[in-house]
Structure 1
């Protein structure tokens, strides 16, 4: 199965900081993405994906009073395989606590945010697409606007959850949008694989970007790898730098 750490993509010429097409992506407003009164559903393969992918958009939607639903498919406990410092048992408890703090830092209304933890095992979703479609469908309703990782993002978990979310949305009668995450950290030479014609920018102000960055730093387990096992941080300096861009990208 394909797995990837963003810290493995350390070349300066990554798509996110080198592709000339980024300058010409049309801007889209939140009202165009999520109609007034519609519920926004974010489906995250792992804890923290919601912050990295669209922590700014979630803030904007919350400020407009949209109902929010978050589905965390896995608990992210397999992020440090073989580590004694960050064992799966410890992470299964620790990472949900990190998520609570991250969502609080985003300023989301925890009293009204609907948050469901799926309990699937991360890095083991490749053969569970049909089960994921069934699970996700339980929590969707017609008229929802669903966001999840791009179906061709570049890792098994992101790709499978994206496909399952798309299929579930189609079945229920909801709108679906892709969120690229890992794709931006591919080498610049792979920029032709990005569907630029579908890309739209959601602009973020300085305060929204700052809260998003602050929320990402709630994931202490992902900011620190395990050098004794050769495990690099998942939230690498490169990723954190990209998160400070004044926009997020959605594929429509």
Structure 2
């Protein structure tokens, strides 16, 4: 999850700056979400209903860590059901610490995929069952390559897939571009798409009308599934550490993690 350089056009630059402004500060406190009437009333959904039969689940992650932050519990439950899994990492996450001499783009492009591999191992995923594809798109500038990304995704999707991607209005420019590309690709292929809020928990309010509550479903996570997800998140050391010398705070600060490590995950059904 990155906050990096803007795209070229003045119009897109203004939009991007407005989006990034949503992600600043401490965001909506966890206590507000715990008191949300909308969240409390969300219907539960069973993973077997979400990904039926022997359908393949495809997780599309803008950056290395989004797969565990958004659906680390879901991945565990799908593994227990022996569903085939495909993970598509769109970028290598190399722009997460702009201007840092400690976390340079070259270092991040090498270490962040390694962090994802360790995180997936901690989730208990069998790599013989998980197919992992790395897209190599530029971190922080996915919106400039949206059509190219949609075409790329189409090469790896099948009609009977169930696809999970960040919500197309998640607030982070890369997340939104990936969401839009996934919508386009799944529409053309005929696959089923579900969207996942990640940064939404930061900028939205607990009764926010911009959230598609009518499409939202809650996946409950038991204490062991949540503990494993929490352990997996800790593998992303680069995101847990900022760079004080460059004035860069951790991307995954405590206030971010507490919202993403609740005993449930939410999907917006397609």
Task: Provide TM-score, normalisation by structure 2.
Answer: 0.89
Aligned mate of 1:26, from 16, 34, 43: 43
Matches within 5 A, 1:170-189: 170-188=187-205
Residue number in structure 1 paired with 2:169: 152
**Which segments of 5 or more consecutive residues in structure 1 lack a partner in the other structure?**
none
* Distance in 2 (alpha carbons) for counterparts of 1:127 and 1:150: 18
**Which segments of 5 or more consecutive residues in structure 2 lack a partner in the other structure?**
1-15
Residue number in structure 1 paired with 2:99: 82
Task: Provide TM-score, normalisation by structure 1.
Answer: 0.95
Offset of 1:227 from its aligned partner? 1.2
1:105-136: per-residue Cα shift (whole Å, max 9, x none)?
A: 00000122100010011111122110110011
Offset of 1:187 from its aligned partner? 4.7
* Distance in 2 (alpha carbons) for counterparts of 1:40 and 1:31: 11
8 Å contact from structure 1 (residues 18, 188) kept in 2: no
Q: 1:40 to 1:11 in 2, by over 3 A?
A: closer
Aligned mate of 1:99, from 100, 107, 116: 116
Residue number in structure 1 paired with 2:248: 231
Residue number in structure 2 paired with 1:132: 149
Residue number in structure 1 paired with 2:222: 205
8 Å contact from structure 2 (residues 28, 205) kept in 1: no
8 Å contact from structure 2 (residues 159, 190) kept in 1: yes
Offset of 1:144 from its aligned partner? 0.2
Q: 1:115 to 1:190 in 2, by over 3 A?
A: same
Residue number in structure 2 paired with 1:16: 33
* Distance in 2 (alpha carbons) for counterparts of 1:189 and 1:234: 22
Look up the SS of the partner of 2:133 in the other structure: strand
Offset of 1:242 from its aligned partner? 2.0
* Distance in 1 (alpha carbons) for counterparts of 2:161 and 2:265: 20
Residue number in structure 2 paired with 1:162: 179
* Distance in 2 (alpha carbons) for counterparts of 1:134 and 1:15: 40
Q: 1:5 to 1:14 in 2, by over 3 A?
A: farther
Residue number in structure 2 paired with 1:216: 233
Offset of 1:190 from its aligned partner? 7.0
For this pair of structures, how many residues does the alignment match? 252
Offset of 1:228 from its aligned partner? 1.4
Offset of 1:151 from its aligned partner? 0.6
8 Å contact from structure 1 (residues 42, 147) kept in 2: yes
Look up the SS of the partner of 2:108 in the other structure: helix
Q: 1:29 to 1:190 in 2, by over 3 A?
A: closer
Q: 1:61 to 1:249 in 2, by over 3 A?
A: same
RMSD: 1.7
Offset of 1:4 from its aligned partner? 6.3
Aligned mate of 1:54, from 42, 52, 71: 71
Residue number in structure 2 paired with 1:118: 135
8 Å contact from structure 2 (residues 45, 217) kept in 1: yes
Aligned mate of 2:86, from 47, 54, 69: 69
